[in-house]
Amino acid sequence: MREKSALVVLAGNPNVGKSTVFNALTGAKQHTGNWSGKTVSLAEGTYSYNGRDYTLADIPGTYSLLSGSAEEQTARDYICFGGADAAVVVCDASCLERNLSLALQVISVIPRTVVCVNLIDEAACKGITVDTVNLSELLGVPVIAAAARNGTGMSELREAVAKVMGSEPSTLSVHIELPNEIEEAAAELAELIDGSSRMAVALRIMEGDSGVISEAEKHGAVSIQRGEQLSSLLSRLESAGYSGERISDEVTAAFSSLAAKIASEVVSCSSDVPYRRDRFLDRIFLSRVTGIPVMIMLFLVVMWLTVVGANYPSELLSALFDKAGCFITSAMHKAGVPELLEDMLVQGVYRTLTWVISVMLPPMAIFFPLFTLMEDMGYLPRIAFNLDGCFRRAGACGKQAITMSMGLGCNACGVTGCRIIDSPRERLIAVLTNSFVPCNGRFPVIIAVITMFVITSDGTFSLAMQGGVLGLVILSGVVMTLLVSKLLAVTVLRGAPSSYTLELPPYRRPQVGKVLVRSLFDRTVFVLGRACTAAAPCGLLIWLMANVKISGETLLMLFSGVLEPVGRLMGLDGVILLAFILGFPANEIVVPIILMAYLAHGSLVDMDSTLQLRELLAANGWTLRTAVCMLIFTMFHFPCATTCMTIRRETGSMKWTAVSFVLPTAVGVLLCMTANLFFSII
């Protein structure tokens, strides 16, 4: 018979390879990234070893069990009150001293702990070695050397977890030196909580406020009566001069001092300058002179490669889908399918669906791998470092640069990533402004408009010019993010910018194969699947609206006619506004809706070239003014349905969800009206 499943919590500092260890042990495919704050929610997986099942919980990275950001509090509460049977603390071999402080705290709370010294291969390249045998003796728990990226040490880690589960709880072999008052309070806490030292230490190493007691009561760790006694004890500590803040400082200093002492005994380095390469690259990427220009140049190169590479695959996919459409139509004719049903399925659903795929897939398949390569190399946190001054001047947090970068992939993911920001005020600013940078759903629309209307004086298409314009359009989203953040910071969300710690990970050689697979399946296929899910029923809806007539007018034209005055005021038309409204489930279907509305027979036509598509739009009144206003409103309009639901979940407020909907829309409308006025004057 199989034994009862054991719950093992996977803890560690940010960017030590926790998610990589999680994937290696469980076989899961959780996304990993070379930057801190990547894991912003709890992930669980299972694995079996020697006839026993283990549930592994990957919690957000944290530097200490003292509360900080919402994610660090989640990690703290799970370790202290989650009922874990054992813990695995992942440490970075190249900076062990900083990691050991958390390891010591976790061991104090969960005696059955295994320390996994990860990234030993990277440490070896820097000339750093760790004496894991001596470290195990000092800590009193098993220590496993590992390189999770290539699977080294994972079998030993499974065995070590199984051993600690079958043994008596261990205790620290070293003494944590704390002031006598706190030591005495810890002893009283142990008696109040049924002599449970792990809970006593858990409460001892936190702030010592009533919120911690309430959290312990919620998880059944203490009763209300004992909670009152705990509060009384903490009040006595405060009257003796040990406030919650001082307790935190004393405990942090004690664990940090002990971590430094242990690290000095077990870590050796054969190189005088182990981080020579990283320092050299940082002098380029983080310099006040070259940092921002290099960042902009890299960004423009990525945009140019996206534009250049997307054209030919899009045309090839379009041609293949056209041939497949002819085959499907012929098969339906032979099968005797009614003509009305055939038109609905082929002219409505199929053509809309294939248009989304042929236009959306190529740019995503290029942009996401390039973006993931920069992430894997460790460049994304450098972007946050470079933009920190800009965000501080805007009254926001520099970490918002990271969540903004996440929004380039998906605004919903960017909103979720805002959990890494400690300050509630700054976190809310980041949530409300995340949709000012375009997500992948808006990229195909932006690229299509730029490709059609950015031409040289002789009427030819310039790929270099198109890439540059695309880069400038995206940068305008960054500028608007800063401006709106400043507006919020000086009005409804006033406050001083908070300080924070930003870890700059080491530069790593990207795993190109894994990057391609991860970007393809975790991002491209996922987002494309979501777009297709929305495009298929929307194609049917738009076909019906374009073919069902009332008093000689189709439903599509009736609704667009109502919006026509507003559209003209913004330099657009009613069809475009209606397309954005109907595209609320997914931005990717905006252009297909526009095309279907422009066609008298209510379906998409074959577009053999970008020039043909441009001629179709021009025939329906599009000019350079329309293209510019279209780009502006594509950049700045309400977030999609998925993002709105995510904002509602993250903020817990319909009011802030409504603000996040109205704010970018208002900016887009005002900018479109301004651009329209400008074109009218010139």
Q: Residue 571 carries which DSSP code? A: T
Q: How many CB atoms lie within 10 A of CB 580?
A: 22
Which has the closest alpha carbon to 582: 548, 603, 555? 555
- Rounded-to-integer distance, Cα 227 and Cα 192, Å: 9
pLDDT band per the 50, 70, 90 thresholds, residue 464: low
| pLDDT, average across residues 348-362 | 77
pLDDT band per the 50, 70, 90 thresholds, residue 279: confident
pLDDT at 203: 53
Supply angle C-alpha 357, 512, 475, rounded to 5: 60
- Rounded-to-integer distance, Cα 160 and Cα 300, Å: 48
> Which is more confident, 625 or 36?
625
100 burial (CB, 10 Å; 0-12 / 13-18 / 19+) is: buried
Global pTM reads 0.68
CA end-to-end distance (rounded Å), the chain: 83
Q: Residue 147 carries which DSSP code? A: B
- Residue 461 near residue 610, CB atoms below 8 Å: yes
- Rounded-to-integer distance, Cα 516 and Cα 329, Å: 36
pLDDT tens figures, 383-416: 878 888 888 888 888 788 878 877 877 788 788 8
Phi and psi dihedrals of 616, rounded to 5? -65, -45
pLDDT at 1: 39
**Least-confidence region, from 63-72, 617-626, 668-677:** 63-72
> Which is more confident, 219 or 265?
265
Structure tokens at 300: 């423009």
* Residue carrying the six token digits 């589960």: 165
SS3 34: coil
- Residue 493 near residue 425, CB atoms below 8 Å: yes
* Residue carrying the six token digits 């290696």: 24
| pLDDT, average across residues 627-641 | 92
pLDDT band per the 50, 70, 90 thresholds, residue 355: confident
Does position 30 have pLDDT exceeding 60, yes or no? no
pLDDT tens figures, 583-605: 887 777 788 778 777 876 555 55
pLDDT at 157: 92
pLDDT band per the 50, 70, 90 thresholds, residue 254: confident
| pLDDT, average across residues 84-112 | 88
Which has the closest alpha carbon to 354: 577, 603, 520? 603
Does position 208 have pLDDT exceeding 60, yes or no? no
- Residue 572 near residue 319, CB atoms below 8 Å: no
| pLDDT, average across residues 8-31 | 82
User: Which residues, at least 6 apart from 12, have a Cβ–Cβ distance to it below 8 Å?
Assistant: 18, 61, 89, 90, 91, 99, 102
pLDDT at 436: 93
Structure tokens at 7: 């719950």
Q: What would the DSSP string read from start to end of 663-682? A: HHHHHHHHHHHHHHHHHHH-
> Which is more confident, 308 or 163?
163
**Least-confidence region, from 81-95, 212-226, 340-354, 491-505:** 212-226
Structure tokens at 471: 């880069």
Enclosing H/E stretch for 413: helix 411-417
Residue count of the chain, please give it. 682
pLDDT at 19: 84
pLDDT at 191: 63
| pLDDT, average across residues 550-554 | 80
Does position 467 have pLDDT exceeding 80, yes or no? no
Percent of the chain predicted with pLDDT > 90? 17
Does position 215 have pLDDT exceeding 70, yes or no? no
Phi and psi dihedrals of 10, rounded to 5? -105, 110
In Å, how far are 290, 312, 351, 374 from 362, measured between CA atoms?
Answer: 32, 9, 17, 19
Supply angle C-alpha 608, 614, 620, rounded to 5: 120
| pLDDT, average across residues 516-531 | 66
Which of 305-319, 320-334, 435-449: highest mean pLDDT? 320-334
- Residue 650 near residue 604, CB atoms below 8 Å: no
| pLDDT, average across residues 653-678 | 94
- Contacts of 26-34 with CB under 8 Å at 24 or more apart are 26/56, 29/521, 29/522, 30/58, 31/518, 31/522, 32/518, 33/375, 33/376, 33/380, 34/375, 34/376, 34/377, 34/378, 34/380, 34/505, 34/508
Does position 626 have pLDDT exceeding 90, yes or no? yes
pLDDT at 244: 60
pLDDT at 2: 44
pLDDT at 160: 92
SS3 497: coil
Does position 243 have pLDDT exceeding 80, yes or no? no
- Rounded-to-integer distance, Cα 154 and Cα 163, Å: 14
> Which is more confident, 476 or 612?
476
- Rounded-to-integer distance, Cα 46 and Cα 53, Å: 7
Does position 435 have pLDDT exceeding 60, yes or no? yes
Strand-pair partners of 81: none
Write down the mean pLDDT value for the chain. Answer: 79
